[in-house]
């Protein structure tokens, strides 16, 4: 009985082998294609990373070269000629150009540059908020008080990353408008806020004292 069983096993194994080779001949190209796609994808990923790193390096070098110019106008012209590699780069360039305009005492140009960054939907939100804050802070001689207040109140909403800095600027607007009591109260709340930095608390305290107020409620 052992010989027939052995023969049957051999035949069965041979049939299985033939089927396997048949499947390989019929569908083997799929496996090869998958391997090729995996290798090609890995190569493309590495090439993309290398290209992005090279672009970032070139962008940084171009900025450093532009900032070596002596005059703000020359630096601004050199910065303006740089092509940013993406939305983040465009935001950095916009902020740098606004800074150069500010150094040249051109507040209107600085605010315009900042608002361009703030209004771009392609730029990451945090950059837009920083640009908006800087524009509203610098725009005392450019933007109407009501427009500045509305923008700062939006930035001062709960959960916003620039909330306390916006509150500080709102206090300055209240001082401009002669409402020192409201400014002092706002600055007190900023000092008591658990998220306030040491620098902000120091500035707020100095301003309260300069306004003739007390650091304590009712003082």
pLDDT per 10-residue tile (average), the chain, 219 residues: 56 63 64 74 78 81 87 87 86 89 87 91 90 89 88 93 94 92 93 93 93 75
Q: What is the pLDDT of residue 199?
A: 94
Read off the pTM.
0.68
The 3-state DSSP class for residue 56 equals: helix
d(CA 177, CA 173): 6
What pLDDT was estimated at residue 1? 44
C-alpha distances (whole Å) from 65 to each of 74, 98, 105, 174 are 11, 18, 23, 42
39: number of Cβ within 10 Å? 10
pLDDT of residue 52: 75
Per-residue pLDDT reduced to its tens digit, 140-193: 888 888 899 999 999 999 999 999 999 999 999 999 889 999 999 999 999 999
Give the contacts of 62 (CB within 8 A, at least 6 positions apart). 82
pLDDT at 30: 67
Buried b (16+ CB within 10 A) or exposed e, 107-127: bebbbbbbbbbbebeebeeeb
Residue ranges of the domains in the chain? 1-66, 70-143, 154-219
With CA atoms as reference, report the closest residue to 64 among 51, 90, 91, 82: 82
Name the 3-class secondary structure at 205: helix
Residues composing the chain: 219
């Amino acid at each position: 009985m052992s010989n027939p069983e052995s023969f049957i096993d051999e035949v069965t194994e041979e049939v299985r082998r033939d089927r396997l080779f048949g499947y390989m001949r019929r569908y083997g190209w799929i496996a090869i294609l998958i391997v090729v796609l995996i290798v090609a994808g890995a190569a493309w990923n590495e090439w993309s990373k290398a290209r992005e790193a090279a672009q970032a390096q070139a962008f940084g070098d171009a900025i450093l070269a532009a900032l070596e110019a002596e005059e703000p106008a020359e630096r601004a012209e050199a910065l303006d000629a740089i092509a940013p590699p993406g939305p983040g780069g465009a935001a950095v360039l916009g902020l740098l150009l606004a800074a150069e305009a500010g150094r040249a005492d051109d507040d209107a140009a600085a605010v315009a540059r900042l608002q361009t960054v703030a209004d771009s939907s392609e730029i990451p939100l945090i950059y837009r908020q920083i640009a908006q804050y800087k524009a509203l802070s610098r725009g005392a001689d450019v933007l109407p008080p009501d427009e500045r207040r509305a923008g700062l109140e939006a930035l001062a909403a709960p959960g916003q990353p620039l909330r306390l800095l916006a509150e500080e600027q709102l206090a300055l607007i209240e001082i401009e408008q002669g409402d020192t009591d409201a400014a002092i109260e706002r600055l007190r709340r900023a000092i008591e806020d658990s998220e306030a930095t040491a620098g902000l608390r120091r500035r707020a305290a100095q301003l309260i004292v300069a306004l003739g107020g007390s650091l304590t409620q009712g003082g």
